[in-house]
Amino acid sequence: MGFSCVFVLVISCCLVVFGSSSGGGNFHQDFDVTWGDHRAKIFNGGQLLSLSLDKVSGSGFQSKKEYLFGRIDMQLKLVAGNSAGTVTAYYLSSLGGSHDEIDFEFLGNLSGDPYILHTNVFTQGKGNREQQFYLWFDPTKNFHTYSIIWKPQHIIFLVDNIPIRVFKNGESIGVPFPKNQPMRIYSSLWNADDWATRGGLVKTDWTKAPFTAYYRNFNVVPCTSCWSSKSSSSSFSDGALQTNNDELDASGRRRLRWVQKYFMIYNYCTDSKRFPQGIPSECRQRSRF
């Protein structure tokens, strides 16, 4: 995959766009293994990557380049069997105490129980915007595509091109939105049995180690239209990122409602016990989707 650094003049200031072509990625070229030593492996000429966790250590990798707006896809096959206590994290993040972050985290399970997909958005170092879902398939049997569409107007989380969550830009009502800090792509497989499975009640069974997750078909589509001073009223087709498009179309909105009705198991916006003084401002926005 060819990466480019493009400088674009927007509203009299110079912004940096870090992007890639729309072709499939190569793990040798696009990522660095950052920890875990031999527990992270790249196979098949850079087309397949695995992370493993044992009692000594987990493992992780990060992208060589940074990205500012676009669509990022990765196919994952999660740890099979009894994965209780493990977390497979796949996310975007900038650096520093005021970092921005967009999270997918897959919380392990006892054999036969469903994985929990945990999502969160951090802006200027503040998160606490969790939504959690069960998946409508077994994510350990085959590879599935997990995508983030990140634009100045919103962030859309997708699973197999089905939108599951939309986080809109709420700057007009005083809610910070991640739009100025380029982010790298990270992933890690680690032990979190103090909280991950049933609040830490179920511990990691190390007799099942090593635990292994697999990755393939990484792809980035830069959002070149994000640098236009004018936004378009066109729609996404089934949640897909297209040049000059801002919103989900009718099919995408139906799919979003379907996932949130039948598969969402936690939404911070409805947690009145957690926010006794009132739900966060962005939760009171009337949805455009």
Residues with catalytic roles: 101, 105
Cα 217 to Cα 164: distance, rounded to the nearest angstrom: 21
Helix ranges restricted to H, the chain: 27-30, 250-262
> Quick one: which H or E segment has residue 211?
strand 211-222
What are the DSSP calls for 112-157, one per residue? TSPPEEEEEEEBTTB----EEEE-SS-TTTS-EEEEEEE-SSEEEE
Amino acid at 89: A
Cα 189 to Cα 36: distance, rounded to the nearest angstrom: 9
DSSP state at residue 67: B
> Quick one: which H or E segment has residue 65?
none
Cα 55 to Cα 65: distance, rounded to the nearest angstrom: 31
> Quick one: which H or E segment has residue 101?
strand 101-107
Cα 155 to Cα 179: distance, rounded to the nearest angstrom: 10
Cα 134 to Cα 92: distance, rounded to the nearest angstrom: 21
